Chains A and B, each alone.
Chain A
Amino acid sequence: MKTGNRACVTGDDFRNSPPVDHVGIVERAERFTTRSIKSITKRAGLNMVLNMIDLTTLEGADTPNKVRQLCYKAEHLHDSILGLPSTAAVCVFPPFVKTAREALGDNSLVKIASVATYFPSGHTTLKSKLEETRRAVSDGADEIDMVISRGRFLSGDYNYVFDEIAAVKEACGDARLKVILETGELATLDNVRRASDIAIHAGGDFIKTSTGKIASAATIPITLVMLLAIRDHYAKTGKMVGMKPAGGISKSKLALHYLVMVKETLGEQWLTNEWFRFGASSLANDVLMQVAKLESGHYQAAHYFSKD
């Protein structure tokens, strides 16, 4: 898919990214959790959440069969409930992209996302990162999730980070690029904002909070800071950038809070899986349990839902 966001030379000095009002952000984030969402609206919201999930398996123990199972689950979330959407994508390690493509075929609604650039640490040469990206794309990945070099970022080498993202974007070709900031390692909201600005300017189609591999993952305040960076970019250039919070979102209620935040911060345009995703593995089942509760009136038990 061709997308608008290309690396641009803006002359921006990323040291001048706007500072973030930590207290204000936290308080604003708190307010998103107080909306009352009931019955039909809730059901619509839950369907939307399902349709925005990047169903993920990024374990050392992954096998081709696990990936096939995941692909099946992405298209058949819970067949006993009618009218459920498929998930937005499956997210796998590069060696499993071929398997996923075979399992899904070429016409699936489910996209294939692959982490590349030596996920999750990113510690390797630029050459190998580009090689891994090209291979994943040629194997059939629609989307690439890259990690930024946090070490370089934290030592102030912003140009290196920018150039690296731009190079990976070029290697992606038509595949969309999601840039993982790994906010849990960036220490401050100011840094999150700065990294977001760099990723957006360097050509990221999506910015993504976390790898899900460290304890501190996506939170509402961090996501809000990133959404504000997207909003400012949109106001300035008219170009949309997507958002993907990942890790730590496992309850449907929390996912609905995120949707509220996206709508109230960026507007309805972003409420599609073209522009907003959840990176999650256990969220889907919790949402399915809530949908089943709405349908049947009975509270559900986890063991009635397939694990993968």
Chain B
Amino acid sequence: MTPGGTPGAPGVVVVTGVGRYLGAHVAARLAADPRIERVIGVDPPEPGAEFTDLLDRVERIRVDAGSLGGLLADLEVDAVVHLALVSAPDQQHGGRSAMKEQNVIGTMQLLAACQRAPRLRKLVVRSSTAAYGASFRDPAVFTEETEPREVPRGGFARDILDIEAYVRGFRRRRPDVTATVLRFAPFIGSTADTTLTRYFSQPVVPTVFGRDPRLQFLHFDDALEVLHRSIVEDHPGTYNVAGPGVLSLSQAIRRAGRVAVPVLEPGLSGAAALARNLGFGRYGLDQVDLFVHGRVVDTSRLEREYGFTPRSTAAAFDDFIRAHHGGVVVSRDQLAAAERLVLDGIRQVRAAVRERS
């Protein structure tokens, strides 16, 4: 036990991926917790200066994932939070191969380093509900025990399956370490900038014809809360983290005041592939699969073990809408006004007909 660290809360925490939105916020939040002595942010060597103001209390080390090994032992690290995952290929930074390099190889190297860190007690790994894959025979609601029926075709989902497999191996080799795997639903919130928030910010939103998937979102602040609790409390195991309740895609688009444009599914897959090849747009087959099958998870284990219920999917989405009301095409007031107009029109016509007769 490190001096200054209260029971349960670790003294030295390493956070990977602090150059990204989620990592930076988690590191800042852990640094603000007086129970935690040191927060060290690990980053790949490329510059990512956008979150420096958040990270003033976080020590930052720019290092390759490959040379982490000695570092974790030297720093006497108690806990590692692994958030350095890329959910969509970025053409400016190497595309799909760089994404796989960071997701899969990066996780392998981190876990190898963790295995050799003698003081390590806790490992928290970010995963995704994409781990359940997408199939027509899937049950409507996934519990943590549900196995994917077929290997997903999206790159991110395949990476997630690999990462979880490595964590299972790590658990076997280091049973003394509390390993927590958090399967997050897509993040949404007033400030978060993800593939999905960009998707819903467009005035005209492409959807898959004849499909109205059930979606769940997780408010970004609740994701921070769960990650924080995972570090300062002990919660071994795998947890679904999502806002309770469901929005269907069409419903979400209508609530956001956007217009849905249904596209035939083969066309959309082709368009996604084409957009990827041409280097614009970040929609992959992961998104197409999500918009065909939808994904709903059971969060009762999280609520039971953490004693925490994230705000509902609808509430999280409302928060997002309030922050992104700029691109609204059809607003609620316009609909109400149209309703009044039509009703008044009908009443007037009826009155006129009645008077004339």
A binds B: no
Give A contacts to B, CB under 8 Å.
Answer: none
